[in-house]
Amino acid sequence: MDFRLSEEQLAFQETAQQFARDELLPHAAEWDENAVFPVEALRKAAALGFAGIYVREDVGGSALSRLDAALIFEELAAADPSTAAYISIHNMASWMIDRFGDEAARQRFLPKLTTMEHFASYCLTEPGAGSDAASLKSRAERQGDHYVINGAKAFISGGGASDIYVCMLRTGGEGPGGISCIVVEKGTPGLSFGKKERKLGWNSQPTAMVIFENCKVPVANRIGAEGEGFKIAMAGLDGGRLNIAACSLGGARACLEAARAYMGERKQFGKTLSSFQALQFKLADMATELDAARLMVWRGAASLDAPSAAGGRPSAARASCTMSSPASRSRAKPSSTAPSPGCSS
């Protein structure tokens, strides 16, 4: 792997950094305090190509790599991890439609997603199916040219605010082979939302339950074939975990930079904190762990970008399972690093 960024990568990294500094950072605290979903700022991000980073260009995507996406999300999250993480989820849901949807679905959904005229959510988790994603119960029964959906999804980022819900639903028997991927559009009769979850932080992205009560959706909204939903969900998470890990890098980097600046200002016993060797060692450890986490993210992204024939996807899956939110877990106990859904591979 070549660790030198190209001129193009440096350019959009700088663009993301400037956007984050000008459009996210001045408002991040207010958005969090007042639980504001920043629609205008999100659409400004989309205008820079950040709403379809690795979606194909014919539907308005930027067609960049997963490593490129990691660079962008780190910069966005250094200003506002919550908003950056929602953008990452939107990108993941859009890519799943781009990668596995038929041409009609791509042309129908993606042009509005890549401009963020419409917002997207990813719906996998259920009240009784978290890490064991293959045990989900929400069901889509086929009736002619439609599916009738009943069940609920829990802890959905963008729940109630998004326009497009990329849902994993049971269309067959038990286990992963009975799951299909179906897009449910906001406004569909039978689709409703629970109350907003109360969270400690991350309030610029609403989180709510998504509820289906005899929700009737056209078969044309299915992404991929019946029974391929679990595979599609896990492929989405390969990139999604990398995105969230990159967001963790941005948040951790901002903390490190704030600590370094404070140590140069704060004085004790007539000297700045940066003069004390113990604190110098502490800061050095933080910088080392952050850089190690970044290299792990970049390696995972490079593995996912590699052609499958070269063994790209298996190593990417291992990397993404290993390092979900690496910077925030660098000192976590082993018991707190349980694998994310689908990490059994």
In the chain, where are the structural domains located?
7-114, 120-227, 231-336
pLDDT for 306 equals 86
Lowest-confidence pick of 150-154, 271-275, 306-310: 306-310
pTM: 0.87
Better-predicted residue by pLDDT, 54 or 320: 54
Q: What confidence tens digit (pLDDT) does each residue in 235-292 have?
A: 999 999 999 999 999 999 999 999 999 999 999 999 999 999 999 999 999 999 999 9
Task: Evaluate if residue 130 carries a pLDDT over 90.
Answer: no
Comparing C-alpha atoms, which of 194, 204, 189 is closest to residue 149? 189
Beta pairing, strands 271-272 & 267-268: antiparallel
Residue 156 pLDDT exceeds 50: yes
Architecture of domain 7-114 in CATH?
Orthogonal Bundle (1.10)
CA atoms of 75 and 84, how far apart (whole Å)? 9
Whole-number pLDDT of residue 344: 30
| Residue 300 near residue 248, CB atoms below 8 Å | no
Residue 330, pLDDT > 50, answer no
Contact between 176 and 134 under an 8 Å Cβ cutoff? The reply is yes
Alpha-carbon gap, residue 171 to 149, rounded angstroms: 9
pLDDT of residue 32: 96
Residue 161 φ/ψ region, left for φ over 0, alpha for ψ in the -120 to 50 degree band, beta for the rest: alpha
**Nearest to residue 169, comparing CAs of 185, 183, 156, 181?**
181
The CATH fold assigned to 231-336 is Butyryl-CoA Dehydrogenase, subunit A; domain 3 (1.20.140)
User: In this structure, what DSSP letter does residue 152 have?
Assistant: E
Tens-place pLDDT, residues 53-109: 999 999 999 999 999 999 999 999 999 999 999 999 999 999 999 999 999 999 999
pLDDT digits (tens, 9 = 90+) for 17-53: 999 999 999 999 999 999 999 999 999 999 999 999 9
Q: Which CATH number fits domain 120-227: 2.30.40.10, 3.30.70.3280, 3.30.230.10, 2.40.110.10?
A: 2.40.110.10
pLDDT band of residue 131 (cuts 50, 70, 90) is: confident
